[in-house]
Amino acid sequence: MKKNILFIYISLLLYYGYSQNGSKEIVLEDIWLKYTFYQKRPSGINWMKNSKYYSDLLEGGIIAKYDVTTGNKIEDLYKNEARLEIEDYNFNEDESKILVSTASERIYRRSSKYNFHVIDVRTQKAVPLSKNGKQMHATFSPNSQMIAFVRDNNLYIKDLNTDKEIQITKDGKSNEVINGSADWVYEEEFSMSKAFQWSPDGQKLAFIRFDESKVKEFSMTNWGKLYPEEYKFKYPKAGEANSIVTVWIYDVKSKKLLQVDTGKETDMYIPRIYWTKDNRLAFLQLNRLQNEINLFFVDTKTGKSTLILQEKSDTYIDLNNTDFLRFLENGKEFIWGSERDGFIQLYLYDIQGNLIRRITDNKGDITALSYIDEKKRLIYYISAEVSPLERHLFRIDFEGKNKVQLSTQAGTNSVNVSEDGQYYILFHTASDSPLRATLHTSEGAIIRTLEDNAELRKRLQEYSFSPKEFFKFTTSQNIELNGWMIKPKNFDASKKYPVIMFVYGGPGNQTVENMYDNFDFFWYQTLAQKGYVIVSVDNRGTDGRGAAFKKSTYKNLGKLECEDQIEVAKYLASQSWVDSKRIGIWGWSFGGYLTSLCMTKGADYFKAGIAVAPVTNWRYYDTIYTERFLQTPQLNPIGYDDNSPITHAGKMKGKYLIIHGTADDNVHFQNAVDFVDALIKNNVQFESFYYPNRNHGIYGGNTRYHLYRMMTNFWIKNL
């Protein structure tokens, strides 16, 4: 460890959100039962075609129309005389009909099934979309004549003119074939659930078919009945068989299906399908190792595909981070996102796949493509170029010139842009300031404030807070890392304090961000009140600092991340005000994995640790995520085993608590069971707790309150 470690306070934070003068102490009931510090967000602001108006879903299921600039209600578009318990809604193209969803039944993270109703705005009549069972992904055709939806793994169309229900596919079967909806691993790792798209003219419907018959089943027990039930679903673990995916086109007029030529290789991914504005079908294809991505165009008459663009990487291509493909209205160009030049940037191509120019050239990743104004040739985007800790809104022209930063306050910004780009809503938070939502013109001029959380800000003044102090330090390997810490309110540098480190540390994620946190920040306040210092540092592999930093962990997940967190512990131990024998660490999911690894490989530096829902062996996790960063177990067995906590179970010395939900469909309970078994075999004492029928989020009722009470008591007892 270098003696001249750099420790720079970036900011001690301005107290326009929190007060140093409040006297109330924070308790867990405030956080997890009363939701005292939960910030409001403008809900239901759905832009209408004429961006001078937006609609909102009001109490009682009323859908109302509002003036954007004044916030005044214009009229009730649907008065809900049918007394439907509406959860969400969408308009058709001319806003004469509304598709509303009711009676949701959740499936996985991004999927649910509903009872949909079609509402005629003029007559106020609400008609069920189908009486043959709940539906998924119901979507109006662009010509408003039909609605496509999925039921029982098959794709259907409802003809609104004839009221007939047309079944497009008939081979859908649970745990075998899915049409028009994603399988578990696509939904989780490619952030998609709906797997069909209407052509712009409404005459064709393209969809992805998933044949998961060769994917192995994973089973979970649902407890609570005299004889517990087994739930089985297809989950492809690393190195195992994936679904075989194919692309199909349904012609509405001829009622015929056409299979698209996607090549001879079936062990690959098709995570996106698109229609261009001139009714041309396109799809993206990733190879199994996700280091090659291809863009194809399809002849919709023959199904023949033509390669338009190909990109390769020495490591991996993370589609979720570069998912900025946009086909322009002019039919001649498209926008492409890539991190091939070191940071995620935007590129302009012609429709034949020829690069016209690189549009952005930032020393920071673009994290969102917010809006494209084709008439003015302008692009609005969010990026981390100001600081890895912040996100800001920028505007740039197609030539890559005349860049303007539109968000001015330090912190994290996101936007919701109207359909024609005349207005946008800017959502801003900072670590010391809850959300402010403001309405702006396209030029950035503020029109009015939609939400400033004034009540919450006033309430915060009543409590005593310790601010987040952002800092940097340089490791012995000359790696500069970003972090934050929260100290006890009456911190005295002449005293010794125990430290709790919080870690996530997974690829493409961050914990060190200048943004408001509804929950954990306030839990850390309760711990600071008890005399703990809380610290979080983003290790190598995390987001916001470009490809080299993020991809340095490729093929060896856990190694550099664990080394960096141990360096954090060493650095803290060297501080005069830290009790070096009382350093703890905790994390959830990937953070639980790193906690377990630090408690074993770094056993000499951590007195106690809490791992919530941890991966303990990457062989147990899914194909898409794991193989993206590690390749397959067959190609890289060392990468899987050398940094598995199970491999190092015998090294654990400190107090360790492992927590898991038995119904975790993401990181399976198997991870906890097998690590516990390894600890037992090595005669290591530990504590464990499981939450029956809870998934990866471990929530519901007072579950979170129970969880955080238990973790608080663990720290008090063991640190």
Q: Please tell me whether residue 341 adopts helix, strand or coil conformation.
A: coil
Q: Please tell me whether residue 95 adopts helix, strand or coil conformation.
A: coil
Residues 6+ apart with CB under 8 A from 599: 585, 606, 609, 611, 645, 652, 654, 656
Residue span(s) of the chain under CATH 3.40.50.1820 come to: 8-38+461-718
Please compute the mean of the pLDDT values over residues 458-476 and round it to a whole number. 95
Is the confidence at residue 12, as pLDDT, over 80? no
Q: Does domain 8-38+461-718 have CATH number 3.40.50.1820?
A: yes
Distance CA 550, CA 540 (A): 6
Helix (H) or strand (E) holding 234: strand 229-234
Q: Hunting for tokens 């969408």 — which residue is that?
A: 90
Residue 13: band (very low, low, confident or very high) from pLDDT cuts 50, 70, 90: very low
Q: What is the pLDDT of residue 45?
A: 80
Distance CA 435, CA 136 (A): 32
Please compute the mean of the pLDDT values over residues 325-340 and round it to a whole number. 96
Triad 131, 134, 138: Cα angle to 5°: 100
In the chain, the N- to C-terminal Cα span, in Å, equals 25
Please compute the mean of the pLDDT values over residues 382-408 and round it to a whole number. 97
Residues 6+ apart with CB under 8 A from 623: 185, 236, 237, 238, 239, 240, 242
Residue span(s) of the chain under CATH 2.130.10.10 come to: 40-164
Is the confidence at residue 16, as pLDDT, over 60? no
Write out pLDDT tens, residues 333-345.
999 999 999 999 9
Q: Which amino acid is at 71?
A: G
Strand 497-502 and strand 533-538: the pairing is parallel
Q: Which amino acid is at 376?
A: K
Rg (C-alpha) for the chain, rounded Å, is 26
How many beta carbons lie within 10 A of that of residue 576, not counting itself? 8
Helices 559-573 and 590-601: crossing angle, nearest 10°? Answer: 60
- The residues with which 446 forms a beta bridge, in sequence order, are 440
Distance CA 571, CA 128 (A): 63
Q: Name the average pLDDT for the chain.
A: 94
Residue span(s) of the chain under CATH 2.140.10.30 come to: 168-321
Distance CA 635, CA 238 (A): 11
Residues 6+ apart with CB under 8 A from 655: 607, 608, 609, 686, 687, 714, 718, 719
Is the confidence at residue 5, as pLDDT, over 50? no
Q: What is the pLDDT of residue 430?
A: 97
Residue 549: band (very low, low, confident or very high) from pLDDT cuts 50, 70, 90: very high
Please compute the mean of the pLDDT values over residues 416-430 and round it to a whole number. 95
Minimum mean pLDDT among 48-52, 155-159, 502-506: which range?
Answer: 48-52
Q: What is the pLDDT of residue 20?
A: 52
Strands of 366-373's sheet in order across: 366-373, 378-383, 392-397, 404-405
* Cα 674 to Cα 230, 522, 557, 578, distances in angstroms: 20, 33, 19, 35
Query: Which long-range CB contacts under 8 A does 618-621 form with residues at least 24 apart?
Result: 618/238, 618/557, 618/644, 619/237, 619/238, 619/239, 619/644, 620/237, 620/238, 620/668, 620/670, 620/671, 620/674, 621/237, 621/238, 621/667
Query: Is the alpha carbon torsion for 340, 343, 344, 348 positive or negative?
Result: negative
Q: What is the pLDDT of residue 43?
A: 74
Q: What is the pLDDT of residue 6?
A: 34
Q: What is the pLDDT of residue 21?
A: 60
Beta carbons of 380 and 394 less than 8 angstroms apart: yes
Q: Which amino acid is at 270?
A: I
Is the confidence at residue 19, as pLDDT, over 80? no
Q: Does domain 40-164 have CATH number 2.130.10.10?
A: yes
DSSP assignments along 147-184, one per residue? EEEEETTEEEEEETTTTEEEE-----BTTTEEESB--H
Write out pLDDT tens, residues 184-214.
999 999 999 999 999 999 999 999 999 999 9
Is the confidence at residue 9, as pLDDT, over 90? no
Half-sphere exposure of 110 (CA within 13 A, CB side): 16
Q: What percent of the chain has pLDDT over 90?
A: 94
Residue 2: band (very low, low, confident or very high) from pLDDT cuts 50, 70, 90: very low
Beta carbons of 139 and 155 less than 8 angstroms apart: no
Helices 520-529 and 703-718: crossing angle, nearest 10°? Answer: 30
Nearest to 398 by CA among 429, 413, 369, 376: 376
Q: Please tell me whether residue 391 adopts helix, strand or coil conformation.
A: strand
Please compute the mean of the pLDDT values over residues 222-227 and round it to a whole number. 94
Write out pLDDT tens, residues 342-381.
999 999 999 999 999 999 999 999 999 999 999 999 999 9
Q: Hunting for tokens 């975790």 — which residue is that?
A: 664
Half-sphere exposure of 323 (CA within 13 A, CB side): 15
Domain 168-321 fold is Methanol Dehydrogenase; Chain A (2.140.10)
Distance CA 610, CA 587 (A): 7
Is the confidence at residue 1, as pLDDT, over 70? no
Distance CA 570, CA 604 (A): 10
Residues 6+ apart with CB under 8 A from 142: 93, 198, 199, 200, 201, 202
